[in-house]
Amino acid sequence: MQELDTHTFRLAVAQFDQAAEFMKLDPNLRERLKLPQRSMMVSLPVLMDNGRVEVFTGYRVQHDSARGPCKGGIRYHHDVSLGEVAALAMWMTWKCALAGLPYGGAKGGIQVAPKKLSHAELQRLTRRYAAEIYPLIGPDKDVPAPDVGTDAQVMSWIMDTYSQQVGYAVPGVVTGKPLSLGGSLGREEATGRGVVYVTLEALRHLHLSIAQATVAIQGFGNVGSHTALLMQQQGARVIAVSDVSGGIYNVNGLDVPELIRRYRNKGQALRDTKLGDAITNDELLQLECTVLVPAALSEQITEKNAARLRCRILTEGANGPTTLDADRILEEKGVFIIPDILANSGGVIVSYFEWVQDLQRFFWSATDIQRRLQDIITSAFQRTLHVSTERRTSMRMAALMNGIDQVAQAHRQRGLYP
């Protein structure tokens, strides 16, 4: 479909085609799963603080609902497009199936630079968006969550807007909410914690010591900062981190708690913290390290820079950070890749826990949540590793085949309506 024709969507479909070919997927199912089940594009007129009305464009895409309600984040970013959102929704379908969650994949977003809006403008934009996608969402239909550019406050506004429409509080309509509105303990750090759990499994598999491991992380938002802190707590040496403006490097290891304090609480740029030497994002990707974690945006590792990577393990904290051409180069180099649909699934796993708690009105302890998250994500890692070894294929293809097979089984058993 021409409307979906973006680099990110082409990457998602190419990955799917490669896995479908390898597993000899039924051609009818193959065509059915390439395109999203439902796509919505909405116009969002918003009254700005200066009295002018500005119209933004928003999207919500549901890729597949054969296994249950759709699930996926909402992204506020100036580059959001229908194709990008459709690709992310497809990856969410495989991610949920791989983790064994009773969800299909969805994703949403608005073309906007959120930092350029005032708090009041952001609230008006969010509420208008929630009102426009209201027919699609609901605890039994489609459950949004935070993504790039959104947070617990945005989820609160969406939950309130939806609840105003139905006339009573519906905390289960979104996840990633504050605790006071039915949020879950452990949700904020869930994606980063999941990244750490699977990285530890990979280190054990490769017989590498966590105490000797060095870590470089591209992206220092929610995922990157929590990954850095938790990896350091596990005994690894975090030698470099970066954000969109660049990063810092310290071969002896960064003081991550102090870095987070200055970066998040004081608003200092990473370079201005003076806790390491200034480096660019490209230089960070090429550092010699045990573990490299791309935790920023998609397509950061391509055929142009893949040959220069010097990591042993690549743990994909971001969605789609590695292109297919780069995959082939890294595989030849012997880099152990933990694919995005496995590595960053901690967020949707704990979102699932939040949704269950909201529906039951019964909330769990932080210890319960961490234990359940570790059980689910390490089990998914071991299943993927088993398929990779048995079928002599990459971890990415093994993860995709595992997820796609679960969705294909659901379609075969439900049949085609009408």
Model confidence over 105-139: pLDDT tens digits?
Answer: 999 999 999 999 999 999 999 999 999 999 999 99
> Which H/E stretch holds residue 148?
none
Length of the chain: 418
**Three-class SS of residue 144?**
strand
Supply the pLDDT for residue 297.
84
Residue 250, CA distances (Å) to 253, 260, 278, 293 in order: 5, 15, 9, 16
Q: Confirm if 301 and 309 have CB atoms less than 8 A apart.
A: yes
User: Contacts from 161-168 at CB under 8 Å and sequence distance 24+?
Assistant: 161/126, 161/127, 161/130, 161/131, 161/134, 162/130, 162/134, 162/137, 162/138, 165/131, 165/134
From the list 74, 91, 92, the residue with the least C-alpha distance to 11 is 91
Q: How many CB atoms lie under 10 A from the CB of residue 66?
A: 19
- Could you list the active site residues? 107
Model confidence over 174-218: pLDDT tens digits?
Answer: 999 999 999 999 999 999 999 999 999 999 999 999 999 999 999
Domain map (residue ranges) of the chain: 2-8+23-174, 190-338
Cα within 13 Å of Cα(333), Cβ side: 20
Q: Confirm if 231 and 196 have CB atoms less than 8 A apart.
A: yes
Mean pLDDT, residues 215-231 taken together = 96
> Of the given ranges (65-79, 187-201, 251-265), which has the lowest mean pLDDT?
251-265
Supply the pLDDT for residue 42.
98
Per-residue confidence band for 373, with pLDDT thresholds at 50, 70 and 90: very high
Is 2-8+23-174's fold the same as 190-338's? yes
CA 232 to chain CA mean position, Å: 22
- What mean pLDDT, rounded, does the chain reach? 96
Residue 342 pLDDT greater than 70, yes or no: yes
- Helices 7-22/324-333 angle, 10° precision: 60
The answer for 294, left when phi > 0, alpha when psi is -120 to 50, beta otherwise, is beta
Model confidence over 350-361: pLDDT tens digits?
Answer: 999 999 999 999
Model confidence over 153-178: pLDDT tens digits?
Answer: 999 999 999 999 999 999 999 999 99
Residue 265 pLDDT greater than 80, yes or no: no
The b/e string for 126-138 (b: 16+ C-beta within 10 A; e otherwise) is bbbbbbbbbebbe
Q: Confirm if 125 and 54 have CB atoms less than 8 A apart.
A: no
Q: Confirm if 317 and 294 have CB atoms less than 8 A apart.
A: yes
Q: Any residues with CB less than 8 A from the CB of 68 and at least 6 apart, and which?
A: 101, 102, 103, 104
Per-residue confidence band for 375, with pLDDT thresholds at 50, 70 and 90: very high
N-to-C CA span, the chain: 24
Q: Has this prediction a pTM greater than 0.85?
A: yes
CATH of domain 2-8+23-174: 3.40.50.10860
Tokens of 244: 């969109």
> What is the C-alpha to C-alpha distance for residues 367 and 373, in angstroms, rounded to an integer?
10
At the top level of CATH, the class of 190-338 is alpha beta
Supply the pLDDT for residue 1.
66
Model confidence over 20-31: pLDDT tens digits?
Answer: 999 999 999 999
Q: Confirm if 81 and 3 have CB atoms less than 8 A apart.
A: no
Q: Confirm if 46 and 125 have CB atoms less than 8 A apart.
A: yes
**Three-class SS of residue 5?**
coil
> What is the C-alpha to C-alpha distance for residues 250 and 215, in angstroms, rounded to an integer?
11
Strands (E), 148-284: 214-218, 237-243, 246-249, 277-279
Tokens of 372: 């359940």
From the list 245, 236, 282, the residue with the least C-alpha distance to 263 is 245
